[in-house]
Amino acid sequence: MAVEVILPRVDMDMAAGKLSRWFKEEGAEVKQGEALFEIETDKAAMEVDAPASGVLRGVSAKPGDELPVGTVIGWIAAADEAFDPAAARKSAPADAAPAPAPQAEASASAAAPARTAEPAAPGEGVRATPAARRKAREAGIDVATIRGTGPHGRIQTEDVEAAVAAAAVAEARPASPEKAPVAAALAIPEIAAPDVAKFGPVETQPLSRIQRISGPRMHASWVDIPHVTHCDEADVTDLDAFRRTLDAAAKADQTAPYRVSLLPLLMKATVAALKAHPSFNAVLSPGGDALILRRYWNIGVAVDTADGLVVAVVKDADKKGVLEIARELGALSAKARAGKLTPSDMQGAGFTISSLGGVGGTSFTPIVNAPEVAILGVARAKMTPAWDGEAFQPRLMLPLCLSYDHRANDGATAARFARLLAETLGDMRRALL
């Protein structure tokens, strides 16, 4: 019997995706697990594996088509199987409606009438790593409601962490009828769009896919989180001299040349500051009455691409050296600019760094990326005369802008965090303490 080839859900908020290319032509033999086609999500391009072995038949989508999640775009049939694409299309319910999101599936199952059969155990038949199952049990989440990003949809620990964080954000929003009037009263009125064309020529420029998805999220973060930004500066004169020696050696690497920017060193110093102030590497509990402190240090880094900013995540930054982080950052940045970041590459961050050092500026106020509780903005370092007690000396000063959720941290804590970070950048030996 022919197996349906379906446009899958590869992002928790994904409702549709664009088919960018087929790796196999109709009539070609395919093997289960090999790359069959590629789709573009809001922030990445993903290769989708063949669900079975056989011959690709009845292809109904072409590169460039944007389709709802769950759409049947072809079939894989046995080589000797009599296959009628028209009949198969009529019997394919997935073409009529997209596959529901995991949350919708949970709601539908809760509203469905009771069955006489004994219900299956939670998570039964779901592909998940043992560590992911354990973490889901500890968090009180049914593993069957989580979307996996591992091979063949296998659920990994970072998928559970993303579900926990999403649940925390959802719980923080008004959900009951009693709270709804308060939310409505606090809603910001929409600004009416004026008819600007009556004043002169105009041109409409569509937002990129990244801008369309990240814009509402940033707006929600800005509205939901009481933002405060604390500014400081770090003397990185000696650190930059050390970086230049590392960069020269990295560029001269005979096997795989790479670059060492200030960012990997900044990430190591940030990890040291986060360990000393774990409330900045945390998430608010669903009830908003506690902080869930992360005991892992995954650092998100904003990457500038042609379509907008995306955040790539360096996992376990505390366990990696500066050179290893530099290589990983180079690889992640290349994937981001090519639109090849996977969901796993963009999930699991506990703290984000947004660096505008390569562009310019003296300071800025970055928006916290919920459910995180803080983000560090870094502007361009500037050579400044500094008084050493006897004379002015040229020193390279790096502006630091720490935006944070005032519910999780107050101004004094933020000032201490920023000062420790600045002192660590001034003397990286502090990162060893």
Q: What is the mean pLDDT of residues 17-38?
A: 89
Could you say which of 74, 95, 116 is where a domain stops? 95
Residues 271 and 342 in one domain: yes
Residue 199 lies in a domain: no
227 given a catalytic annotation: no
* Residue pLDDT, tens place only, 60-105: 999 988 888 888 899 899 888 877 777 766 665 444 344 443 333 3
Say which CATH number the domain at 330 has: 3.30.559.10
Residue 62 lies in a domain: yes
For residues 278 and 48, the model is more confident at: 278
Residues 67 and 143 in one domain: no
The domain total for the chain is: 3
- Specify the range with the lowest mean pLDDT, choosing from 35-44, 186-195, 235-244: 186-195
* Catalytic entry in 219, 227, 230, 406: 406
Residue 122 lies in a domain: no
The rounded percent of the chain whose pLDDT value lies above 70 is 81
CA distance 6 to 99: 10
Residues 147 and 80 in one domain: no
Q: Is pLDDT of 107 > 60?
A: no
Residues 55 and 142 in one domain: no
Omega into 371 within 30° of 0, i.e. cis? yes
The rounded percent of the chain whose pLDDT value lies above 90 is 45
Q: Which domain holds residue 53?
A: 3-95
Residues 397 and 256 in one domain: yes
Cα dihedral 119, 122, 123, 129, rounded to 10, equals: -150
Q: What value does the mean pLDDT of the chain take?
A: 82
Q: Is pLDDT of 179 > 70?
A: no
- pLDDT number for residue 294: 96
Residues 312 and 382 in one domain: yes
Contact 302, 309 (CB under 8 A): yes
CA distance 272 to 294: 14
Say which CATH number the domain at 43 has: 2.40.50.100
Residues 320 and 424 in one domain: yes
432, two tokens: 């060893």
Residues 335 and 216 in one domain: yes
- Specify the range with the lowest mean pLDDT, choosing from 35-44, 91-100, 212-221, 234-243: 91-100
Residues 14 and 140 in one domain: no
Residues 253 and 361 in one domain: yes
| pLDDT band with cut points at 50, 70 and 90 for residue 298 | very high
Residue 121 lies in a domain: no
Residues 133 and 17 in one domain: no
Residue 194 lies in a domain: no
- pLDDT number for residue 1: 76
Residue 13 lies in a domain: yes
CA distance 27 to 189: 55
* Residue pLDDT, tens place only, 406-427: 999 999 999 999 999 999 999 9
Could you say which of 174, 198, 232 is where a domain stops? 174
Residues 25 and 161 in one domain: no
Could you say which of 80, 95, 110 is where a domain stops? 95
For residues 244 and 106, the model is more confident at: 244
Say which CATH number the domain at 138 has: 4.10.320.10
**Selection from 51, 52, 63 nearest residue 25 by Cα:** 63
Q: Provide the whole-model pTM.
A: 0.65
Residue 219 lies in a domain: yes
The phi and psi torsions of 313 (rounded to 5 degrees) equal -115, 125
Q: Is pLDDT of 207 > 90?
A: no
Contact 122, 114 (CB under 8 A): no
CA distance 28 to 5: 14
In the three-class reduction of DSSP (H, G, I as helix; E, B as strand; rest coil), residue 399 is classed as: strand
Buried b (16+ CB within 10 A) or exposed e, 315-353: bebeebebeebbbbbbebbebbeebebbbbbbbbbbbbb
